């Protein structure tokens, strides 16, 4: 139980934040929509949870009695593994599920499971998802860093040259890596 409470959400939140940032970098229109009004972040996080499905499947479950489910006969004792990612892309639950729609309402995802297996850390994951995506949205920052790979104030870097920039802090210089500024040789 301690593992679940302290560590289980680390990897999934990492996937949520990195996937969200990737989608915002890939889709400038979505990034701009979010930049216009940061109060939309909660709505966006719900869609990222559905679209990215940081948890792909659940633990195995065992059928308790013979049953037919979706035209498939399941026998008592058989093992099943529900795929949350597939459920989140079900067109019967959400229209156009293959499309990332940050304005989706209602959003019927099951990224946190359901019933007695519902994620204990769901609220923390939502807060971390919104907070983690904010520095890369350009909100409250000079958004020239989206196109300027030499920018020094960026929390994240998304240049076409795949440079990496550490955010500048007082008394430090940003570390830039790319084709025109390779890593120095270690001696």
Residues 187, 113, single domain; the answer is no
Residues 113, 175, single domain; the answer is no
Residues 148, 170, single domain; the answer is yes
Mean pLDDT estimate for the chain: 78
Give Cβ neighbours of residue 132 (< 8 Å, ≥ 6 apart).
13, 16, 17, 20, 21
Residues 120, 159, single domain; the answer is no
- Count of domains in the chain? 2
Question: Is this model's pTM higher than 0.85 or not?
Answer: no
Average the pLDDT over each of 40-49, 122-131, 165-174, 175-184 and give the range with the smallest value.
Answer: 165-174
Q: HSE of 48 in the Cβ direction (CA atoms, 13 Å)?
A: 30
Contact 144, 138 (CB under 8 A): no
Contact 102, 27 (CB under 8 A): no
- Confidence (pLDDT) at 112: 93
Q: 27: domain CATH number?
A: 1.10.630.10
Domain, as residue range, for 39:
2-140
Residue 131, helix vs strand vs coil: helix
């Amino acid at each position: 139980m301690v593992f679940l409470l302290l560590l289980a959400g680390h990897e999934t939140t990492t996937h949520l934040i990195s996937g969200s940032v990737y989608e915002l970098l890939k889709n400038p229109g979505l990034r701009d929509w979010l930049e216009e009004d940061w109060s939309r972040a909660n709505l966006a996080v719900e869609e990222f949870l559905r679209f990215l499905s940081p948890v792909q499947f659940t633990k195995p479950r065992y059928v308790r009695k013979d049953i037919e489910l979706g035209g498939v006969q399941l026998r008592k004792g058989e093992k099943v593994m529900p795929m949350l990612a597939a459920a989140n892309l079900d067109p019967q639950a959400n229209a156009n599920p293959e499309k990332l729609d940050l304005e989706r309402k209602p959003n019927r995802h099951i990224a946190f499971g359901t019933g007695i297996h519902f994620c204990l850390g769901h609220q923390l994951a939502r807060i971390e998802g919104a907070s983690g995506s904010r520095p890369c949205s350009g909100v409250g920052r000079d958004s020239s860093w989206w196109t300027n790979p030499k920018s020094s104030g960026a929390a994240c870097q998304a240049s076409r040259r795949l440079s990496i920039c550490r955010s500048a802090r007082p008394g430090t210089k940003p570390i830039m890596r790319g084709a025109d500024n390779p890593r120095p040789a270690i001696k």
